[in-house]
Chain A
Amino acid sequence: MSNDTTKKKLKLKVSAIKEGTVIDHIPAQNLFKVITILGLDKIENQITFGTNLESQKLGSKAIIKVSDKFFENDEINKIALIAPDAKLNIIRDYEVVEKKIVKAPEIIKGIVKCFNPKCITNNEKVTTCFKVLSTSPVTLRCRYCEKMTIGEQMRML
């Protein structure tokens, strides 16, 4: 198969929804976290996803296609911590009309658990809130206990 055909086939796969959003380049191991964070497990839109696809950059990637759904930047940027290389294709009438990349927000509310077991947020019903100091490795400073949650320490709520 020539390179061109491969590209066409891939493009066809990606474009196979009429209207909606394709989220590509998600690290395969974080696919389900992305689904939860975006609340895709709670909506009734048609969703297809592929995982453990080959990716030069990520090793193994996942892709999500959501029909009739267009994300606000605030909404989609929530996944930046676990899918920093994610790319969005906005599809209208089978055509990619816009491409977006995710950008980590300065402040991240909810979503992430504080790494410090003695933090008030792990002991009482308080919405977590972090300042994002860096995205590689992920470095978050808790608004409450002021401790850092770094890289592998990060757990989703």
Chain B
Amino acid sequence: MKRDLISITDYSKEEYLKIMDLAAEFEKNPNQDLLKGKVVASLFFEPSTRTRLSFETAINRLGGKIVGFADPQNSSSTKGETLHDTIKMVSNYADLIVMRHPLEGAARYAAEVSPVPIINAGDGANQHPTQTLLDMYSILKTQGTFDNLNIFMVGDLKYGRTVHSLLMAMSQFDTPIFNFIAPAELQMPEEYKMFLRENDIRYFEHREFTDIISEADIIYMTRVQKERFSDPMEYEQVKNIYILRNSMLENTKPNMKILHPLPRVNEIHTDVDKNEKAYYFTQALNGMYTREAIITHIMNLK
């Protein structure tokens, strides 16, 4: 049976760990001709240069060929073709499909339609599992373990799909602690807190971004976006509260690392960049190794 990657919760702890091992191998030796003779379709129904370049570089380093489109303006969907028909057609040509789509659930549906594996590179506000796996690889690399970590999530915890998926994935490991720092309007949704309570996982909620971060092993920053607020005044009040500055890092743990899915706006001050605890640019590079690992796992190449 074919294996897809649609949602982070489709994978087991063992699969996460296998992908981590493979990513470490690719970090040592990124160029391996495992995809030689294979064609990968890269279908971006919504532009995302960052994610697309990371995937396409990963495919190139694995020796695969790429077909597809980077911009929905040039795709058949603008001529009114259904997702169903586009996937049916492309799956005739390609051995694997990487897709990004603005509609939620598009990747799950494509996986039902397609006889070849689908990797979800983002479906609207729903899932972006390869981001979560690269976040996990960054955590493992910097902390040496997934167990007993104190993870702080800061900013937009309501709509931020990356924090939701990371929470679900990290909950598979031993005794994590989560700390949520967010404005009232952007709190972690109840369903995730309920999940944590049901699994006896500790979490704490805070409105203020203060020296409580001295307990953190990981600080995961997200963007607080203006359009998320029903009241623009509310945004004006909070936009400068959830900014991480270098001066705030003085008493943080030596192993602590700052992650961010990028691109950032102003939520991490540029004076943090030179601090060795800033990890977000390396995190992005880890994305390429992780995507090589995901493709290798899905295509059963190793």
- Which A residues are within 8 Å of any B CB, using their own CB? 116, 118-121, 123-126, 142-148
Contact = CB atoms under 8 A, between A and B. Distances in A.
B103 interface: yes
Contacts of B83: 120, 124
A120 B104 contact: yes
A143 B104 CA distance: 10
Contact of B104 (A125, A147, A148): A147
B82 interface: yes
Interface of B: 7, 82-84, 101-106, 108-109, 123-127, 191
B82 A119 contact: no
Contacts of B102: 118
Contact of A146 (B82, B84, B103, B126): B126
Contacts of B109: 120-121, 124, 126, 144
A145 B84 contact: no
B105 A148 contact: no
Given A116-B104, A121-B105, A146 B127 contact: yes
B126 A123 contact: no
B191 A148 contact: yes
12 contacts: A118-B104, A120-B83, A120-B103, A120-B106, A120-B108, A123-B103, A124-B109, A125-B82, A126-B109, A142-B105, A146-B127, A147-B104
Contacts of A142: 105
Nearest to B164: A146
B191 A146 contact: no
Contacts of A123: 103
A126 B191 CA distance: 26
Contacts of A143: 105, 108
A75 to B, nearest CB: 24
Given A124-B84, A147-B104, A148-B191, A118 B127 contact: no
A148 B108 CA distance: 16
B249 to A, nearest CB: 35
Given A120-B105, A146-B105, A146-B126, 19 more contacts: A118-B103, A118-B104, A119-B104, A120-B83, A120-B106, A120-B109, A120-B123, A121-B105, A121-B109, A124-B83, A124-B103, A142-B105, A143-B108, A144-B105, A144-B106, A144-B108, A144-B109, A146-B104, A147-B126
